[in-house]
């Protein structure tokens, strides 16, 4: 009897286990489908999410149509939604005031301001916006992203503004935009010739020297980040201009402009019936007008005048008590090869030695002047920037294999240093040419002639290309002083002072493997790696396939015969055995 009971008990337990297992398996729901963010065009709509305050959002974010509101409040003006400071200038904050702190206060401020206004205009029987949750927090907005490309204020824009300001105020008044802050008197002031970029004080994330840090601290306490002040500064001025443009009405445009602006500012073309559009100067306030996502290249900016701050065109960099000679530096030509002053002047626009002394100062974060000019990996240093240029595909063919010059090592030779540390101004060297040298037109390479027809290497064509690349670049022209520099790109281990002729590849690279050093490049491998490496680095599509260099053997396909032949020779050489076979 008891055995029957036990059996029953066990079987019931078993059933329960199976049932619970099955329910467990089927109760696991499908994982939530992962939604991917959808990018959409910007078209003057602003995404309101504030995840930095709210964290994960309870409801979908709001996509706010700024343009619509702008048009609706044309008469009332921007101050309907944005607060105004003591000087009657707009501050681009929304909502106007937030009472209290924390998530709830921010949420309440947003809701109050939006919904109240919508309700009000609804009561006045005007066209109005939504007042219920889901009409703003639409589901389709949940994963929407509206990437706003960074606005770039390049030399072209700067130049345009300089011109307009001059016409408007009659003199070079840089103080309209540029200012500095006096920490003692606690006020802004501007002084000609000491203009700085916005980021030097308003880039709040960057650490800097004691002098600037004091100013940045003030900016940080007021929350004046670059993003905020660029909108405040630019938009306030633009809005002012826009207002005057909007209020012209039926008046004659010529009458207004007559006294202030020259005719050829608008009538650029020869035909005086044509003029540039008014928006060329009176810039509208659409987001996409500044945040274009298109950036001018240095080539396009080549003819644009650079900001004049009284800098010298050509100078001789001289550090007091330095053991090295002075370096001639052409500031003007370097200006043309960058898109912003801050490419080199990373903090203030003062000269390098203002912060970087021989021993290092706190202003320069303790980086001494030698490192400031020579640091390999810094983008602002001479060496760092030049190394970056050498990594471009035109230069990389040779320079990938030449170790970058690092003054921290024993690597540089005297002539490397003296090409910059000349102690006097050096004229630009003449463009390179190999006239007068006996340059082979074509080289036949026969290493693989048992398998293929001899390869023909267009020696002179390759040199022509290198000469062209070198002469096209100002940097290369300056540093490639003679034609042998180019030869050394391929004939890499030559000692030009000792040799009458550039060495052939086979002088060092043996057909066989090196008996002492198996890692040494054999001739076959030297050819393949040198040619293909350069073609790869310079992004040359030619010469990547076997058949482009090797024509099929006219006698027909053959075995790789040299393996067996080598066997016989090697069996007798004992030194070979030492490497691969010790016994």
Partner 1 sequence: MDRRTFLKIIGTGVAGATTGDLLTAGKSSAGERISGKEFYGILVDTTRCIGCRRCEKACAEVNGLPNPDISEGTNETVFQSLRQTTDKQYTVTNKYDTEKGTIFVPKRCMHCNQPGCTVACPTKAMKKRPTGHVTWDSNCIGCRLCMVSCPFDVPKFEYGKAMPNIQKCNLCWDRFKQGVLPACVEVCPTQALMAGTRRQILDDGKRRISMNPDKYVDHIFGEYEVGGTSHLYLSAVPFEQIGFRKDLGTKPYPEYSSFYFKTVPLVATLTPLFMLAVSAAIKMGKESQKQKHEEKHEEKGKH
Interface contacts to partner 1, rule CB under 8 A: 448, 513, 518-519, 521-522, 524-525, 527-529, 532, 545-547, 552, 557, 559-560, 562-564, 566-567, 570-571, 576-577, 579-583
Report in angstroms how near the CB of residue 102 gets to partner 1 at its nearest. 45
Taking the complex as a whole, how short is the minimal distance between the CB of residue 576 and partner 1, in angstroms?
Answer: 6
**Closest approach of Cβ 371 to partner 1, in Å?**
22
Task: Give me 320's structure tokens.
Answer: 């007091």
Q: Report the sign of the C-alpha dihedral through residues 397, 402, 403, 406, in that order.
A: negative
* Distance, CA of 525 to CA of 75 (rounded, Å): 77
Residue whose CB is less far from partner 1, 192 or 456: 456
d(CA 49, CA 60): 8
For helices 459-472 and 483-490, angle between their N-to-C axes, nearest 10 degrees: 120
In the complex, minimum distance from the CB of residue 528 to partner 1, in angstroms, rounded to a whole number: 5
Handedness of CA 332, 336, 341, 346 (dihedral sign): negative
CB 362 within 8 A of CB 209: yes
64/401 with CB nearer partner 1:
401
> Which of residues 162 and 576 has its CB atom nearest to partner 1 in the complex?
576
**Least Å from the CB of residue 492 to partner 1:** 16
- Whichever of 372 and 445 has its CB closer to partner 1, that residue is 445
Q: Which helix (H) or strand (E) holds 329?
A: strand 327-330
How many residues in the chain?
Answer: 583
* N-to-C CA span, the chain: 83
Count Cβ atoms below 10 Å from residue 488 Cβ, excluding itself.
16
**Between 276 and 579, CB nearer to partner 1:** 579
**Residues 141, 143: Cα–Cα separation, whole Å:** 6
What sections of 150-248 are H helices per DSSP?
A: 155-169, 199-202, 210-221, 226-246
Q: Dihedrals φ, ψ of 391, to 5°? A: -85, -5
State which residue, 114 or 445, has the beta carbon closest to partner 1.
445
What CA–CA distance (Å, rounded) separates 194 from 179? 9
Q: Are 423 and 322 in contact (CB under 8 A)?
A: no
Are 137 and 59 contacting, i.e. CB atoms less than 8 angstroms apart? yes
Smallest gap from residue 396 Cβ to partner 1 (A): 12
For partner 1, the closer CB: 70 or 451: 451
For residue 250, give the 3-state DSSP assignment: coil
Residue listed under structure tokens 């002492």: 516
Q: Which is nearer to partner 1, 266 or 490 (CB)?
A: 490
Closest approach of partner 1 to the CB of residue 548, in Å? 10
Closest C-alpha to 285, from 228, 237, 227, 224: 237
By C-beta, is 171 or 545 nearer to partner 1?
A: 545
CB of 380 to partner 1, least distance (A): 22
3-state secondary structure of 189: strand
Tell me how far, at minimum, the Cβ of 231 lies from partner 1, in Å.
39
Q: Which is nearer to partner 1, 137 or 399 (CB)?
A: 399
User: In the bound complex, what is the minimum distance in angstroms from residue 502's beta carbon to partner 1?
Assistant: 23
Evaluate whether 306 touches 162 at the Cβ level (below 8 Å): no
- Going from the C-alpha of 261 to that of each of 166, 276, 283, 357, the distances in angstroms are 10, 14, 17, 47
Residue 428 gets which letter from DSSP?
P
Backbone angles phi, psi at 126, to 5 degrees: -95, 170
Q: What is the 3-state secondary structure (H, E, C) of 217-243?
A: HHHHHCCCCHHHHHHHHHHHHHHHHHH
**Least Cβ distance, residue 579 to partner 1 (angstroms):** 7
Closer of 435 and 563 to partner 1 (Cβ): 563
Least distance (Å) between residue 445 CB and partner 1: 12
**CA-based nearest residue to 470, from 388, 382, 390:** 390
Tokens found for residue 294: 């298109």
| Nearer of residues 13 and 546 to partner 1, judged by Cβ | 546
The minimum distance between CB 540 and partner 1, in angstroms, equals 15
Indicate the residue among 247 and 575 with the shorter CB distance to partner 1: 575
């Amino acid at each position: 009897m008891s055995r029957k009971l036990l059996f029953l008990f066990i079987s019931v337990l078993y059933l329960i286990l199976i049932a619970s297992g099955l329910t467990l398996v089927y109760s696991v729901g499908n994982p939530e489908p992962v939604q991917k963010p959808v990018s959409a065009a910007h078209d003057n709509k602003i995404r309101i999410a504030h995840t930095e305050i709210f964290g994960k959002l309870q409801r979908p974010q709001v996509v706010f149509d700024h343009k619509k509101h702008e048009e609706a409040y044309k008469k009332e003006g921007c101050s309907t939604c944005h607060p105004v400071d003591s000087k009657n200038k707009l501050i681009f904050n929304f909502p106007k005031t937030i009472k209290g702190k924390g998530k709830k206060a921010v949420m309440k401020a947003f809701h109050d301001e939006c919904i109240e206004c919508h309700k009000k205009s609804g009561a006045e029987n005007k066209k109005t916006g939504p007042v219920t949750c889901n009409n703003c927090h639409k589901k389709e907005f949940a994963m929407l992203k509206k990437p706003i490309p960074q606005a770039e204020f390049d030399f072209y824009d700067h130049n345009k503004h300089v011109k307009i300001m001059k016409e408007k105020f009659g003199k070079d008044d840089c103080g309209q935009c540029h200012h500095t802050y006096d920490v003692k008197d606690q006020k802004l002031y501007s002084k000609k010739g000491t203009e700085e970029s916005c980021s030097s004080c308003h880039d709040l994330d960057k650490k800097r020297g004691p002098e600037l840090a004091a100013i940045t601290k003030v900016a940080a306490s007021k929350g004046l980040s670059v993003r905020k002040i660029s909108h405040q500064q630019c938009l306030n001025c633009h809005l002012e201009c826009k207002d005057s443009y909007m209020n012209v009405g039926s008046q004659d445009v010529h009458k207004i402009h007559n006294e202030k602006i020259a005719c050829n500012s608008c009538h650029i073309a020869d035909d005086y019936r044509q003029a540039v559009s008014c928006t060329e100067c009176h810039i509208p306030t659409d987001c996409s007008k500044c945040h274009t996502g298109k950036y001018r290249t240095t080539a396009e900016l080549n003819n644009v005048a650079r900001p004049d701050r009284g800098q010298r065109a050509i100078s001789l960099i001289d550090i007091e008590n330095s053991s090295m000679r002075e370096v001639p530096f052409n500031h003007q030509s370097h200006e043309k090869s960058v898109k912003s002053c801050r490419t080199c002047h990373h903090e203030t626009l003062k000269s390098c030695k203002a912060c970087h002394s021989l021993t290092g100062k706190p202003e320069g974060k303790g980086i001494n002047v030698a490192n400031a000019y020579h640091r390999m990996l810094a983008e602002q240093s001479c060496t760092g920037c030049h190394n970056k240029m050498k990594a471009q595909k035109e230069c990389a063919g040779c320079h990938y294999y030449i170790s970058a010059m690092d003054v921290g090592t024993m690597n540089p030779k005297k002539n490397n240093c003296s090409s910059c540390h000349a102690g006097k101004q050096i004229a630009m060297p003449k463009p390179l040419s190999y006239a007068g040298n006996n340059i082979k037109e074509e080289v036949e390479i026969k290493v693989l002639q048992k398998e293929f027809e001899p390869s023909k290497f267009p020696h002179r064509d390759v040199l022509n290309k290198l000469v062209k690349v070198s002469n096209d670049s100002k940097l290369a022209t300056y540093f490639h002083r003679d034609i042998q520099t180019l030869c050394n790109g391929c004939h890499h281990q030559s000692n030009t002072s000792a040799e009458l002729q550039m060495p052939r590849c086979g002088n060092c690279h043996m057909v066989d493997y090196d008996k002492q050093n198996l890692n040494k490049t054999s001739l076959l491998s030297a050819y393949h790696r040198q040619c293909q490496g350069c073609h790869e680095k310079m992004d040359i599509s030619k010469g990547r396939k076997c058949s482009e260099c090797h024509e099929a053997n006219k006698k027909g396909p053959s075995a790789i015969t040299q393996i067996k032949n080598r066997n016989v020779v090697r069996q007798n050489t004992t030194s070979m055995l030492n490497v691969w076979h010790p016994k």
